[in-house]
Amino acid sequence: MSFLTLTSLQKSFGPVQVVKDFNMSIEKGEFISFLGPSGCGKTTVLRMIAGFETPSGGAITIDGKSQQNLRPNQRNIGMVFQAYALFPNMNVAENVAFGLKVAGRPKAEIDARVKEMLGLIKLDHLADRYPYQMSGGQQQRVALARALAPKPQVLLLDEPLSALDAKIRVSLREEIRQIQQQLGITTVFVTHDQEEALSISDRIVVMNAGKADQIGKPADIYNRPATRFVAGFVGTLNLIEAKVVDPAANRISIGDQGVTLREPLGNAKAGDTVSLALRPEAGSIAPDAKGDTALTGEVVSSNFLGSVIRTRMKVGESIISFDMFNSPGLVPPTVGETVTLRFTAGDLLVIRD
């Protein structure tokens, strides 16, 4: 049986239903990210797990136990918020000790646990500091230690990195993942940042308007988006409109260029429009590029992004982006130039909704 289950979870604020029939089974020790745009209901689901919001319908269980009538402080959950939310009048050690003190644990146990937690977040040397004397990243590590100190069954992280600058965000997310694995704690992490979710999760739930559009491992979500929404939200996928030419032969056209897909076209009829997805990294315009499929188009822009050069070309009515890895001597295509992008037909995915 799964450790944390959310069954037909719903939440309405007045007439507005912000969480609609949300279902999810999370295994013990899993790191799950809820990924989605602002307002899709991620935080509301998290707050229902924590007990800060009462579901309008559905059920939440942790280790087989219904959470329905439990107040937040009766649930065995640790939470970290976007704003560091440390107690400003307490030093680091006192902040970390807070939950244990409230629970009435003996002083010797509290002292030992605080020491252990500060070791875990590598801030032993700052035990006497106050929040205002620390950086945002340090404060967020203290918030994590405070959430973990009472040994919660589940850790909830609500955009804990979004107030930090880019470099700290990357190092802290790796630290969070490492600590989570070390402790084996079941964790739900809310983010709107796809790179964050892809890099540290066991599984990702892509949320769209109060529902889970797709649940899967990072590579599956990235490589095989289930819906148009997921395809658009995760990665920098090209969405290409194509016309069905011969459905029995999987034959379509993009502009006036014919392509034979690997995937069957289902019930599509000749003349129908289908959406295809193509990753910018899938193809190459190098003269020796391999691939059984080619599209030729005119370059409309070419941008240096650091490790890659992203070029956009026009094929029929579609704009298709592709990436070239930066290397010394690479000459990027120029605007107006005609280029041929080669890739394998299997890279063109049919998006079905």
- Positions touching ligand ATP (CB under 6 A) are 13, 18, 36, 38-44, 192
Q: Do 214 and 231 meet the contact criterion of CB atoms below 8 Å apart?
A: no
Instruction: Report the residue number whose CB is nearest to ligand ATP.
Output: 43
Specify the residue, 20 or 105, whose C-beta has the smaller distance to ligand ATP.
20
Specify the residue, 42 or 75, whose C-beta has the smaller distance to ligand ATP.
42
CB of 157 to ligand ATP, least distance (A): 12
Q: Do 141 and 172 meet the contact criterion of CB atoms below 8 Å apart?
A: yes
Beta-strand relationship, 257-260 and 251-254:
antiparallel
Q: Do 111 and 93 meet the contact criterion of CB atoms below 8 Å apart?
A: no
CB of 213 to ligand ATP, least distance (A): 13
Specify the residue, 44 or 238, whose C-beta has the smaller distance to ligand ATP.
44
Specify the residue, 11 or 203, whose C-beta has the smaller distance to ligand ATP.
11
CB of 35 to ligand ATP, least distance (A): 10
Specify the residue, 47 or 312, whose C-beta has the smaller distance to ligand ATP.
47
**Tokens in use for 344?**
């394998």
**Tokens in use for 35?**
């990924």
CB of 42 to ligand ATP, least distance (A): 4
Specify the residue, 30 or 158, whose C-beta has the smaller distance to ligand ATP.
158
CB of 45 to ligand ATP, least distance (A): 7
CB of 142 to ligand ATP, least distance (A): 23
